[in-house]
Structure 1
């Protein structure tokens, strides 16, 4: 019944024909149950293609006259998901934001590709937990057999789908890539997770053919650049190569100044030597920079060395401004600095700055989003504990990525003191200026002056 209704809606809304590809125009439409935003944004990579407002029935429609075949993202803030589009497509999506990914259903041209891509995404989420709880403990040959078995299940399903639907060459490349790079990533991670799970002193000896798939790795597939399994594989693969080459070839003297700097420089040069696709290179270089700047606080002189090296190998990086903003944000959150004077809104819809809120008292700022109920409920449980541990501090919650009215409903349902809660409408500015990585972050101030700009509510 759902499929019939969806197909009928596609026909009525966009006038699609059962004959595929009779024009180059792409029609992409949908219906959103419980919308969290009034518009849908379509992106290709990091570039906005178009936006569409929801109508009074919570429906949207894109009519695209000239686009490149391939992988796109549609964004309904704060969530997003893939959509694969080819010229001539008429495609419909229906979803309920309460169960965003699980409720997604595509109908129309290329529904098979999109639904299978979504099925792979959901299967990976489920398998990830078993990888960490069970499979990484296995011996190398048993682990390889398990990975091969899981991969073959997906390959067989794709073959069946293709025999019924005759997918395009581009779609098959995308779906095969999603399968292969998902399972190859697990093998890149295996030596580290296995060592951790088994508490072995050294890395386990691996069979000679353990990484045989590396002979087929494509470091420049433009069509896969923004496919999550491909990108995640590249991160794990390059981390593995950098670590193992350093372990085998670098003496301890080379790393006395800063192990972190030494390792990250290795990784920068590996990306430079192996990865040929410009956007993938830029994204991977960005990942290394964020990882270095955020996870390990190195000496200022080492950070300068890293940024100089970064700019040398990653010329004209499209993320350079963002990375420099991050560096500036970290510098501005050092002890004895005044907390950035950012605007937030109170429960009573009054605008205040963080500097005003933090004046004349000790404050612990924490951050949460209404998009993940499990996460924010855990945060508020932790805050209740911190209230007892830090009676001399005012614990101030700053909400991000949530509609203002929805935020107020959550505050009311939780029964927390609304006078200690504020809402930000500018997620990007707050994230950049306060360096909100990870979301468990806390900032501690005394009379608006920073005491600790990189605390964590679970480590206080």
Structure 2
């Protein structure tokens, strides 16, 4: 029934056009149920290709004269998902934002590739839970057997799919990469998770051929650069390589005070020596920088050394401005600094600054997004507890990545006092200036002056 409805929608939206592989024009259209934004943005990597407004029926349409075959993603703020496109495609997507990934269905040319890619994405989410809850406790050979069994099932499904449908070699490569690198990542993570789950003092001895799959790793594959399983594997892979090689060769020669710096420098140079594809390198270098700057507050002199080393090995990194802004944001949130004077919007659509809001009082700022119902309900419950624990503080919520009217509806439907709630449309500025990583972050001030710029709402 869903396929019949989608076929009808495809005909209506695309004007009864069919896939024409002799033409380079690509039509990508869709229908959004319960839209969270009034436009859909199509990107390839970090590059915006085009945007399309939703019409009165919540439908959108891209008509692209000529594009590169490959993996794209479409954003309907605050959500996003993959779409694989080839020249001549006419592809339709239908989704309900309340169950974004689970409701998403593709129809038209390349529907098989896109639906299978989505199926792999959803399967990985479920398998990740099983890995952490039970599989990482297994002995190495049993773990390998489990991994191979799961992988074999996906490969068989892909083989069956490709035998029954005309799927291009490029699409097969992408789908195969998604399968392989998903299970390669589990193997990279296994030694660390097994040690943690079993509370063993040392890392478990592994079979000599445990890492044989590394011989198949491609560090220079542009087509996979923005494929999530590939990138997640690379992060785990370089984390494993860095830790194990440092453990073996460095003999803890570094002082405790510079241990974090030593390890991150080690990781930077491993990425520099192995990763080839420019965007992959830049993204991995960015990951190391964010991990260093956010997860452990190092001495200022060590941070300066790290940034100097980062710029040395990662020349012309496309993320350098973002990283420098992050560093500046962290600097500006140190104790005794005045909170950044950012503007937010009240329930009555009036502008207020953070310094105005926090003047002459103690304030705990917390942050939430309407995109994650569990997250904001948990935070609302936590705030109710904190009101009892911290009666001398005013608890101020700042909403991000949510439509203004939807934000107001959430507050009203859950009985949240709008006087203590504010909204921001500028997620980028707020994220950079207030360093909103993770979303459970809290900022504590006293008469506009920062007491703790990196608190956590669940640790107060």
Question: TM-score range, shorter-chain basis?
Answer: over 0.9
- 1:350 deviation in Å? 1.1
What is the CA–CA distance in structure 1 between the aligned matches of 2:124 and 2:263, rounded to whole Å?
29
Stretches of structure 2 lacking an aligned partner (at least 5 in a row): none
**SS of 2:41 mapped into structure 1:** strand
Is residue 185–residue 236 contact of structure 2 (8 Å, CA) maintained in 1?
Answer: yes
What is the CA–CA distance in structure 1 between the aligned matches of 2:416 and 2:292, rounded to whole Å?
36
What is the CA–CA distance in structure 1 between the aligned matches of 2:396 and 2:266, rounded to whole Å?
41
Superposed CA deviations along residues 34-61 of structure 1, whole A, max 9, x for unmatched, are 1111100000000100000011111000
Matched, 1:422 2:426: no
Is residue 16–residue 90 contact of structure 1 (8 Å, CA) maintained in 2?
Answer: no
Q: Name the counterpart of 2:437.
A: 437
Q: Name the counterpart of 1:87.
A: 87
Matched, 1:149 2:130: no
Question: After superposition, where does 1:268-283 map in structure 2 within 5 Å?
Answer: 268-283=268-283
**SS of 1:253 mapped into structure 2:** coil
What is the CA–CA distance in structure 2 between the aligned matches of 1:87 and 1:217, rounded to whole Å?
28
Q: Name the counterpart of 1:229.
A: 229
- 1:20 deviation in Å? 4.2
Q: Name the counterpart of 2:200.
A: 200
**SS of 2:152 mapped into structure 1:** helix
- 1:13 deviation in Å? 2.0
- 1:15 deviation in Å? 3.6
Q: Name the counterpart of 2:163.
A: 163
What is the CA–CA distance in structure 2 between the aligned matches of 1:16 and 1:243, rounded to whole Å?
56
TM-score, normalised relative to structure 1 = 0.99
What is the CA–CA distance in structure 1 between the aligned matches of 2:165 and 2:18, rounded to whole Å?
13
Q: Name the counterpart of 1:456.
A: 456
What is the CA–CA distance in structure 2 between the aligned matches of 1:128 and 1:426, rounded to whole Å?
33
TM-score, normalised relative to structure 2 = 0.99
Superposed CA deviations along residues 382-436 of structure 1, whole A, max 9, x for unmatched, are 1111111111100000000011111111111111211000000101100000000
Q: Name the counterpart of 1:407.
A: 407
- 1:253 deviation in Å? 2.4
Q: Name the counterpart of 1:320.
A: 320
The structure-2 alpha-carbon separation of the partners of 1:34 and 1:103, relative to structure 1 and needing over 3 Å to count, comes to same
What is the CA–CA distance in structure 1 between the aligned matches of 2:373 and 2:13, rounded to whole Å?
34
Worse overlay, 253-262 or 140-149: 253-262
Matched, 1:363 2:341: no
What is the CA–CA distance in structure 2 between the aligned matches of 1:144 and 1:33, rounded to whole Å?
42
The structure-2 alpha-carbon separation of the partners of 1:457 and 1:19, relative to structure 1 and needing over 3 Å to count, comes to closer
Stretches of structure 1 lacking an aligned partner (at least 5 in a row): none
What is the CA–CA distance in structure 1 between the aligned matches of 2:22 and 2:107, rounded to whole Å?
18
Superposed CA deviations along residues 240-281 of structure 1, whole A, max 9, x for unmatched, are 000000011102222444111000001000110000000000
Q: Name the counterpart of 2:292.
A: 292
Is residue 442–residue 454 contact of structure 1 (8 Å, CA) maintained in 2?
Answer: yes
- 1:18 deviation in Å? 4.8
Matched, 1:62 2:62: yes
Worse overlay, 383-392 or 199-208: 383-392
Q: Name the counterpart of 2:53.
A: 53
**SS of 1:210 mapped into structure 2:** coil
Runs of at least 4 residues off by over 6 Å: none
Is residue 42–residue 49 contact of structure 2 (8 Å, CA) maintained in 1?
Answer: yes
Is residue 19–residue 89 contact of structure 2 (8 Å, CA) maintained in 1?
Answer: no
What is the CA–CA distance in structure 1 between the aligned matches of 2:269 and 2:16, rounded to whole Å?
49
What is the CA–CA distance in structure 1 between the aligned matches of 2:20 and 2:134, rounded to whole Å?
45
The structure-2 alpha-carbon separation of the partners of 1:105 and 1:177, relative to structure 1 and needing over 3 Å to count, comes to same
Aligned length: 460
What is the CA–CA distance in structure 2 between the aligned matches of 1:15 and 1:407, rounded to whole Å?
36
- 1:19 deviation in Å? 5.5
Q: Name the counterpart of 1:103.
A: 103
Is residue 19–residue 108 contact of structure 2 (8 Å, CA) maintained in 1?
Answer: no
What is the CA–CA distance in structure 2 between the aligned matches of 1:260 and 1:169, rounded to whole Å?
44
Superposed CA deviations along residues 360-393 of structure 1, whole A, max 9, x for unmatched, are 0000000000111111111111111111111110
Matched, 1:174 2:167: no
Q: Name the counterpart of 1:122.
A: 122
**SS of 1:226 mapped into structure 2:** coil
**SS of 2:91 mapped into structure 1:** strand
Is residue 19–residue 109 contact of structure 2 (8 Å, CA) maintained in 1?
Answer: no
What is the CA–CA distance in structure 2 between the aligned matches of 1:211 and 1:121, rounded to whole Å?
24
What is the CA–CA distance in structure 1 between the aligned matches of 2:331 and 2:18, rounded to whole Å?
58
- 1:316 deviation in Å? 0.2
